């Protein structure tokens, strides 16, 4: 083989190797371009996708215990008792919580039902009704039986307001019967209404057999009665009557309230009751000022015994009320900066915190319910980085108190996070 031919063959081999290298380079270039294109297109896609929703987690407890050592209240050593806030939510209860005779405390339902069926505004007297011959004829026998009564005669006229005053202030049993007839036409029809209303109010341990409570078959328990007290005291006319120490009634003269606590130490009602079967009973409402705040309280004591059962009930109520108010003080429940919400989106977490200390007027050791108030804020769909505002509300026996809460929604997802979630 000639030297020229060998040179020609070597040149062809070199050209083939060069073409192979060029082909590999082109293939690598196309592959790299494809990867870059995929990444670029993917980045463009995720960059324009909707921001994912935030997850929201509440980090504050639903109930927080007030710091300090809890000390007991001066509950009666016998019978039943209960305390509640002005809305009827229980604060505490003592005793067996079983239905017991409640004597003239029954008349609170009689008055409440009468006003519900025949509403009065403060200053109005309402319709009148006439005492029947049978109602007047039974007066002497009822006096002999030791009932609480007002002197009435056949044909005497009372308006609704006067009748309610006679019912609630001197606790007139005969006026309870007259109001039952005035409202429902008969005692039996009125008693049926009383029991229907008790059921509607959720008074599951209550049953009435008469409108006055003289019959020991009219029974309830302490928890049911503070529920009744709450709705009764929302009736402005009823609330005003039970806060009167006395009243002047036509043909009767001045009558005084059996509840001797009214007008003293913040007591503003509600109703006494006493029979041999029921013992001494008192359903009460109190309004006092503590650390400059107006604090309202409802309660009841039942089945109190002693030389004077009514005095025993009054004394038991006063001791219980004084012990409760004496334990109230303003305390910091949660400091400023307490986290209440955690917001998380695309790997980023932000917090919503209280901006002020949450102070409550409460007794040490009491459990305070908390709730968040955010208005129409949609935390899951909040704009990235936007300010989140609301309030943290504490429900205490003295009322609701709240502090502002503030934070920011999580930021938009980073490009790194988006690329990491490119394929789902």
Q: List the chain domain ranges.
A: 1-48, 55-67+333-420, 80-326
Contacts with 394 (C-beta within 8 Å, 6 or more apart), sequence order? 64, 333, 358, 360, 368, 369, 370, 400, 401, 402
**In which element (H, E) is residue 361 found?**
strand 358-362
Are 262 and 244 contacting, i.e. CB atoms less than 8 angstroms apart? yes
Q: Give the closest residue to 163 by CA, choosing from 218, 217, 114, 199.
A: 114
Q: What is the pLDDT of residues 357-368, one digit of tens each?
A: 999 999 998 889
Q: Give the closest residue to 392 by CA, choosing from 53, 58, 90, 85.
A: 58
Return the exposure string of 281-298: e unless at least 16 CB atoms fall within 10 Å of the residue's CB, then b.
bbbbbbebeeeeeebbbb
Are 278 and 302 contacting, i.e. CB atoms less than 8 angstroms apart? yes
What pLDDT score does 258 carry?
A: 95
Strand partners, 285: 298
What pLDDT score does 270 carry?
A: 98
Token pair recorded at residue 278 = 């029921």
Average pLDDT over residues 326-332: 93
- The better pLDDT of the pair 49, 66 is held by 66
Tokens 């690598």 found at: 28
Average pLDDT over residues 368-383: 87
Q: What is the pLDDT of residues 77-114, one digit of tens each?
A: 999 999 999 999 899 999 999 999 999 999 999 999 99
pLDDT, averaged across the chain: 89
CA gap 283, 81 in Å, rounded: 10
Average pLDDT over residues 203-219: 97
Q: What is the pLDDT of residues 261-294, one digit of tens each?
A: 999 999 999 999 999 999 999 999 999 999 988 9
Average pLDDT over residues 230-244: 98
Are 134 and 141 contacting, i.e. CB atoms less than 8 angstroms apart? no
What pLDDT score does 140 carry?
A: 74
Counting residues of the chain whose pLDDT is more than 90, the rounded percentage is 68
Token pair recorded at residue 388 = 């989140």
Are 88 and 353 contacting, i.e. CB atoms less than 8 angstroms apart? no
What pLDDT score does 185 carry?
A: 94
Contacts with 248 (C-beta within 8 Å, 6 or more apart), sequence order? 254, 255
Task: Quickly name the fold that domain 80-326 has.
Answer: Beta-lactamase (3.40.710)
Contacts with 357 (C-beta within 8 Å, 6 or more apart), sequence order? 332, 334, 335, 336, 403
pLDDT > 60? residue 42: no
What pLDDT score does 172 carry?
A: 95
Q: Give the closest residue to 391 by CA, choosing from 381, 380, 377.
A: 377
What pLDDT score does 7 carry?
A: 47
Q: What is the pLDDT of residues 145-159, one digit of tens each?
A: 778 889 888 899 999
pLDDT > 80? residue 29: no
Average pLDDT over residues 371-381: 85
CA gap 204, 127 in Å, rounded: 33
Q: Give the closest residue to 237 by CA, choosing from 393, 66, 120.
A: 120
pLDDT tier at 143 (50, 70, 90 boundaries)? confident
pLDDT > 70? residue 418: no
Return the exposure string of 28-42: e unless at least 16 CB atoms fall within 10 Å of the residue's CB, then b.
eeeeeeeeeeeeeee
């Amino acid at each position: 083989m000639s030297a020229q031919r060998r040179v020609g063959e070597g040149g062809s081999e070199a050209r083939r190797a060069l073409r192979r290298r060029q082909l590999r380079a082109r293939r690598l270039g196309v592959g790299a371009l494809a990867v870059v294109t995929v990444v670029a297109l993917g980045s463009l896609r995720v960059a324009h996708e909707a921001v994912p929703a935030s997850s929201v987690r509440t980090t504050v407890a639903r109930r927080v215990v007030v710091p300090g050592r809890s000390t007991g209240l001066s509950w009666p050593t016998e019978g039943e008792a209960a305390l509640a806030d002005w809305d009827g939510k229980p604060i505490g209860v003592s005793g067996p919580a079983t239905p017991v005779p409640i004597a003239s405390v029954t008349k609170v339902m009689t008055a409440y039902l009468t006003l519900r069926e025949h509403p009065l505004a403060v200053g109005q007297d309402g319709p009148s009704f006439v005492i029947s011959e049978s109602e007047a004829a039974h007066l002497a026998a009822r006096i002999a039986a030791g009932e609480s009564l007002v002197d009435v005669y056949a044909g005497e006229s009372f308006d609704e307001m006067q009748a309610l005053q006679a019912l609630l202030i001197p606790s007139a049993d005969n006026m309870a019967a007259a109001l039952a007839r005035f409202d429902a036409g008969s005692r039996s029809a009125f008693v049926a209404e009383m029991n229907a209303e008790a059921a509607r109010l959720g008074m599951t341990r209550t049953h009435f057999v008469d409108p006055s409570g003289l019959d020991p078959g009219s029974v309830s328990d302490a928890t049911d009665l503070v529920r009744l007290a709450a709705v009764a005291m929302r009736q402005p006319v009823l609330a005003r009557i039970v806060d009167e120490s006395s009243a002047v009634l036509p043909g009767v003269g001045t009558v005084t309230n059996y509840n001797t606590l009214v007008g003293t130490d913040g007591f503003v009602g509600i109703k006494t009751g006493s029979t041999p079967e029921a013992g001494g009973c008192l359903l009460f409402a109190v309004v006092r000022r503590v650390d400059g705040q107006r604090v309202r309280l409802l309660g009841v004591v039942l089945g109190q015994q002693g030389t004077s059962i009514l005095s025993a009930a009054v004394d038991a109520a006063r001791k219980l009320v004084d012990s409760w108010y004496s334990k109230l003080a303003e305390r910091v429940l949660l400091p400023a900066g307490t986290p209440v919400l955690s917001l998380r989106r695309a790997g980023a977490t932000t917090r919503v915190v209280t901006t002020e200390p949450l102070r409550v007027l409460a007794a040490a050791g009491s459990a305070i319910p908390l709730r968040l108030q955010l208005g129409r804020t949609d935390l899951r769909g909040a704009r990235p980085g936007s300010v989140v505002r609301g309030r943290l509300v504490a429900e205490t026996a003295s009322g609701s108190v709240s502090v502002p809460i503030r934070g920011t929604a999580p930021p938009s997802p980073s490009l790194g996070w988006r690329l990491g979630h490119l394929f789902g």
